[in-house]
Amino acid sequence: MIQVSLVSPERILFEGEAKYVCLPGSKAPFTVHKGHAPVVSMLDPGILYISTENDLGRYAIDGGFAEVIHDKVTILIERARTSLEIDPDEEKEAIQEISKRIATTDEEIRQKEKELEIHRVRLRLIEKEFVK
């Protein structure tokens, strides 16, 4: 087992033992099991999975950082939502509103794309929960 801490500025979302954790790394998604090599990685918006003895926790995250060292995974994220905290209608409305915004500079375009991805990830999480 590995020790996992999933923390946002708002709250501690998970603290405990897990069989593995799947993370949306900025270069590529990756999975951490016991004995994983030490690593620090930026995280993109995506779905984060924490597999425990009895459950598979799923979180839609907005991005952040992960550190793996000595079978301990520390995940610091901007924000996370579980499927129960997501309203699909609000997410679809946000996507429509953001899509209408005009972005002219490279920074505005990157920000718009990131915001769209965050809301799309939240919708994907809901879809995965219904498919279980």
Q: Which among 67, 62, 71 is positioned nearest to 20, based on CA atoms?
A: 71
Distance CA 49, CA 35 (A): 18
Question: Are residue 73 and residue 117 in the same domain, yes or no?
Answer: no
Distance CA 57, CA 55 (A): 6
Q: Which CATH number goes with the domain that contains 22? A: 2.60.15.10
Question: What range does the domain containing 17 cover?
Answer: 2-81
Distance CA 64, CA 43 (A): 5
Whether 27 shows a pLDDT value over 80: the answer reads yes
Whether 116 shows a pLDDT value over 60: the answer reads yes
pLDDT band at 129; cut points 50, 70, 90: low
Distance CA 92, CA 98 (A): 10
Question: Are residue 23 and residue 59 in the same domain, yes or no?
Answer: yes
Distance CA 61, CA 81 (A): 7
Task: Output the pLDDT for position 127.
Answer: 83
DSSP single-letter state for residue 24: -
Question: Are residue 57 and residue 95 in the same domain, yes or no?
Answer: no
